[in-house]
Structure 1
Amino acid sequence: MPTYFIAGTDTHIGKTTIACALLAKAQQHGLSTLGIKPIASGCEMTDDGLRNSDALALQAQSSIKVPYQEINPVTLAEPLSPHIAAQRANKRLTINQLVGYTRATLSHRPQFAVVEGAGGWRVPISDRELLSALPKELKLPVVLVVGMRLGCLNHAILTAEAIAKDGLRLAGWVANCIDPEMAALEENINTLKRMLPAPCLGVVSYQTACVESINIAQGLTLPE
């Protein structure tokens, strides 16, 4: 049951887009799939309760159908860092909680699964704990989504160093082109190919409109 933690160099750099594309790619290989987002802020109130658009996308792309609460067990309304959103909602978050939720969802035994983080690698969930402790506790290999824009080299290299420091394996990275006017894009990607200690799983071009995950998946390689 290969399970990968989807990390990003920052927030709003396309973690969910890449996570869904990897699920689609795995389905092309005939694998059952499941995407999980243990904690999400910026949720909207619906008739069914708080819902997060990223978690809904993962749920829709997963071939194993489970209730929303198993995809996204911790929902926070305000679009803030999880620890601040939780404090303002009078919720107490712990890594042990998130580990329990994630293991329970993975008990459906998908053949390929992704666990998507929130924000960057060192985002806090409380004043004492960081979300990076979740993949560390679960011993998950990591796929890093690099939002290609000015400053991404520093962010990507620092994140890769932090992943290694936590004793986890960087299984691969994806260059997600989020700035259509980024200068020296190819040179930046080539620099990352030389300096990151993992293979590039694909380069996703800038998208001006919503693109089906199956189409993005065509340019990706599954991590090993």
Structure 2
Amino acid sequence: MAKRTYFVAGTDTDAGKTLVTAGLLAAANRQGLKTIGLKPVAAGCEQTEQGLRNGDALLLQQTASVKLSYEQINPVAFEPPIAPHIAAAREGRQLSADRLAAFCRGALMQPADLALIEGAGGWRVPLNARETLARLPQQLGTPVILVVGMKLGCLNHALLTAEAIARDGLTLAGWVANRIDPQMSCYQENLETLTGMFRAPLIGEVPFLDDPKPEHIADYLKIDKFYDLSAV
């Protein structure tokens, strides 16, 4: 069983959750930690000889040091890049937090020091008519790492997401500023605003990178901001 498990959420679609999650895995690998990366539900998959495959899930599979089967990492996959509950309805399938939590618990039985579970879209992405994906970390009882896509409008998205995480009874363990817009005006002022208003540590600032590979992103992240390396 993983010693510590975190849910990685984003302020929006394309905030950079996957790259930051992979970067955190790479940074933990450098510290000699055994790592697991999960993407329990993914929409936007390609048909392959092995079945549906999602690029984000494949990146987590490649980066994590504990090697799991693809199906353990991404048990629920949809081909169209649309909201998961809509993709499920088109296929006559039903998504539920209970089912996703069961998949995650199964994968997390593998011995590891750190496990990261990446969400899909933003915090309130629906799973069905009653539940959102936020129900998954609630059921698992995992702290949350928030990836803030640094662009115009990020302050509102980030603060509302942090409020929702707290309202759902979960702990914000830390956040990452991911610069997705290299031309963002007043970047530093926005960063300072969030740093001052969040009650969680800033794990790192990821600049806009032309070739964002996990090992490059790891250079900008400090896992000791949320993981006690002295206990390893």
CA distance in 2, matches of 1:90, 1:29: 44
Distance 1:110 1:76 in 2: 28
- How far apart, in 2, do the equivalents of 1:84 and 1:211 lie? 30
> How far did residue 214 of structure 1 move?
1.6
- Structure 1 residue 211, shift from structure 2 partner: 2.8
Separation (CA, whole Å) in 2 of partners of 1:142 and 1:114: 10
Task: Look up the match of 1:65.
Answer: 67
Equivalent positions of 1:4-83 (< 5 A) are: 4-83=6-85
CA RMSD of aligned residues (A): 0.8
CA deviation digits over 1:105-142, x for unaligned, max 9? 00002111100000000000111111000001101000
**Unmatched 5+ stretches in structure 2:** 228-232
- 1:163 and 1:113 mapped to 2: Cα distance? 19
- Structure 2 partner of 1:84: 86
- Residue-pair matches, total: 223
Q: Which residue, out of 102, 107, 118, partners 1:116?
A: 118
- Which residue of 2 is the match for residue 216 of structure 1? 217
Contact map agreement 1:141 1:169 (CA 8 A) in 2: yes
Query: What is the one-letter code of the residue matched to 1:115?
Result: I
Contact 1:39–1:72 (Cα < 8 Å) also in 2: yes
Distance 1:85 1:13 in 2: 21
CA offsets per residue over residues 14-44 of structure 1, 9 Å max, x none? 1000000100111111110110000000111
Structure 1's unaligned 5+ residue stretches are none
Q: Percent identity?
A: 52
* Other structure's SS at 1:111 match: strand
Distance 1:172 1:9 in 2: 13
Match in the other structure for 2:145? 143
TM-score w.r.t. length of structure 2: 0.95
Task: Map Cα deviations across residues 135-166 of structure 1 (whole Å, 9 max, x no partner).
Answer: 01101000000000000000000000000001
Aligned counterpart for 1:125 among listed residues 127, 137, 140: 127
- State whether structure 2 residue 212 is matched by structure 1 residue 195: no
Deviating above 2 A after TM superposition, structure 1's stretches of 4 or more consecutive aligned residues are none
Give the TM-score of the pair, scaled to structure 1.
0.98
Report the residue type matching 1:60 in the other structure: Q
